[in-house]
Chains A and B, each alone.
Chain A
Amino acid sequence: MYIGHIVPFQFYLGNPLEIDDNPIVLSESLRLIRSQHHSANCDCLDTFDSDLQRSKQLLLRYQNTLTLFQNKQPVLTTQKCPANWRFIPDLADGPVKKALSYCSAIRAFLPGNKNKLIIEQFIVLDEDDKTHVRFTLYHFNYDNRKLIFGITQPMRGYDTSHETLLQMLAKNGAIETETYADIYRHCGFDSPIYVAKPKISIDKEAPILQTTLQLIKTSLNISRQNEEGIKADYDTEFLHDYRVNLRKIRSILSLFKGVFSMGENERLKQNFADIMKQTNRLRDLDVYLLDKQDLFDLLPVRMHKGLDQMFEAFSIERKQQLQLVIKMLNSKNYQKNIHELLEKFSSTENLRAGPKASTTSLPFATKLIWKRYTKVCQIARQIDDNTPDEEIHQLRIQCKKLRYLMEFFSALFPPKMLKELIKSLKRLQDNLGRFNDFSVQQESLQEFLTSYSKKHRNKNLIAMAESIGALIILLQQKQSQERAQVMQSFAGFDSPEIKAKFTQIFHHGIKQ
């Protein structure tokens, strides 16, 4: 193997090479032969976040093997995979798993439409039968549509032979490509790809009512793009993203005061709260089940049995909850409601404006962010070892709101500075997030135990109570460790430089 000076050539070909069993003469001393060809059913894979398309990679599954194409890498990375494989952690250790380690562990790899793949391998030989170049053509066939993709594998020291091959390919209509976008499109992947956090271009001079509509519409659209994934239950991130975007809308409704009339605002708030409420339990169960391994790891093996039953109960309940959510999403009421909301947000005229509706967007944004920032600082600076946990939760919620606001209006502020501020906020948020997770876990465990013990009286209960009790104590310890970090994390966020930047962007902005 040699990875080096000559870059492999990636291309699409309009028509197959007419070669059969006769070699193609490339030059006086070089000839091209087809060394192998075979066909297989093939899935083209990517996550809903399009991790592979974004990083200019292509993942195929055929003959129980994953084959990863990495842009401009002459040698493909391959690994065996289980039949219905979806998640990175379910792969055995191997080169593909290693190469995909940047992808989320909880995102499913989803197939597009099933293609019949024909793979043809070619070699360029000299008169001594020494190989000078190799290349492969991949014919993707789906429903009478064909796409031919090729990649050369240059060999060290045979640059001119590679060049000769490229001339032949060019004569046959090869068109160079940098990405695998056409293959993904051919295999039925959406274009443009899903973006969970798009940068929303906002006109700073526009009235805030118009901007608010734009923000709500964007979040609502992203939220809706996740509905199919929730129904198909591909992975838990669909519901998560769905809810995050609904929560963003609710944050807008509660933070952007005076944009809509009071009555309008209350009705919208209630409407979105009602939609989201119906997914609460499913999300809780998703979170418990995602944490399963972490919780098992906390306890010695002999105590695992008690937990098994709990997670089994969670699994069963999750199935029921999922059905309820699917039913909700498919219901006529929901469809009608969403379409009415979309219609409502399509024009400022459909909404009852509030007293602030015509305020210019930029000053409105800076004022909101500054207010939230001072609120965060105000709560955080009062925190000491004796502060009740409730205050910490408040801080977490305020931080989240501040983060949303900064992200909503990111287009209005210098990107580099904003990125730095968000990064410093994120560190604090991560700390607070873990604090919250440990707290929620304790509550849910306690809650489960209480309700289980009311319904069941058997010998398993004692084992279960022991396991859960031990977990709660451990989680308490972990929570207080996170708690102890909060002041330090905030100190990082409250540094003079960060403070100066917040003031410069969001406070002086008002005076401008």
Chain B
Amino acid sequence: MKIIACYSNKGGVGKTATSVNLAYASAHAGNNTLLCDLDPQGAAGFYYRVKPSRKLVEQAFFKDVDKFTKAIRASDFDKLDIIPANMTYRDFDIFLARMKNSRSRLKKALSALDNEYDIIILDCPPNISRLSENVFKVSDSIIVPVIPTTLSERTFLQLIEFFNEHKLNKKKLLPFFSMVQKQKKLHKTTMERLHKQYKRILSSEIPFSSDIEKMGIHRAPVLSYAKSKAAAKAYKNLWQEIKSKV
């Protein structure tokens, strides 16, 4: 079982679209896949038409593995299951902080699924918090969407700094360029510069695309309704590159 987190400390960078499409690509490639929607906004679940779970309350999430697994829902796609977000644990960063040995709890809950899933994808909320720190520890890889703009670059650097400060394993970070608009000079030059600076930035990139924006209308991954379009192919390539590194 490999745990892949999709994380950004900045919102609106295409993080959820990435989680949703990578989970689909993983399942489509034959892996038993679980997508965990940890973002309280519940967008990943929305895209798969899975309603937020009422059963899943904070305490149950970390204390009772059985209840945790009961929250899992089959998606409409083969080999892909979802844990929908729960609106009641909006503040569960604080909740986590209160709990003792919190760092190991999430891992415990996830490894109970070891025999069931090949790939677990975590769609994380966009901030650096206790939960994020937990996520950084348990994940085998952390996918970081970066829009090739100054602001996005800055938040990416902050993330690296955070890893340095907390002595976290930076090798887990797999940044890639998201919402790329090649015709913009800024995007182009930022990408060239960062590629030189950080060798670990993935070569696959996701273009800015109206097909991706339409996910909200279709309520399905791009790969399922527009699989021949450039955006879908880009996600497929991204998954293949990630899979080769995990």
Contact = CB atoms under 8 A, between A and B. Distances in A.
Contacts of B141: none
A2 B81 contact: yes
Interface string A104-137: 0000000000000000000000101111000000
A311 interface: no
A2 B74 contact: yes
B72 A157 contact: yes
Contacts of B51: 126, 128, 130
Interface in B42-65: 48-51
A157 B75 CA distance: 10
Interface string A154-186: 011110000000000000000000000000000
A83 interface: no
A171 B71 CA distance: 30
B213 interface: no
A1 interface: yes
Contacts of A130: 48-51, 76
Contacts of B48: 130
Given A156-B74, A157-B72, A1 B50 contact: no
A129 to B, nearest CB: 6
Nearest to B82: A157
* Residue from A2, A157, A158 having most chain B Cβ neighbours under 10 A: A157
A156 B76 contact: no
B219 interface: yes
B32 interface: yes
A128 B49 contact: yes
Interface string A1-40: 1100000000000000000000000000000000000000
Given A155-B74, A157-B72, A157-B73, A1 B79 contact: yes
A130 to B, nearest CB: 4
Nearest to A123: B76
B49 A129 contact: yes
Contacts of B73: 155-158
Contacts of A157: 70-74, 81
Contacts of B78: 1
Contacts of A155: 73-74
A128 B79 CA distance: 21
A131 B77 CA distance: 10
Interface string A365-383: 0000000000000000000
B74 A158 contact: yes
A364 B32 CA distance: 62
B71 to A, nearest CB: 7
Nearest to A4: B116
A301 to B, nearest CB: 37
B50 A156 contact: no
B49 A156 contact: no
A2 B74 CA distance: 7
Contacts of A126: 49, 51
* Residue from B32, B74, B81 having most chain A Cβ neighbours under 10 A: B74
A481 to B, nearest CB: 43
Interface of B: 32, 48-51, 70-74, 76, 78-79, 81, 219
6 contacts: A130-B76, A156-B72, A157-B70, A157-B73, A157-B81, A158-B74
Q: Which 9 A-B pairs have the closest CB atoms?
A: A157-B73, A155-B74, A130-B49, A156-B74, A128-B49, A131-B76, A1-B79, A2-B74, A1-B78
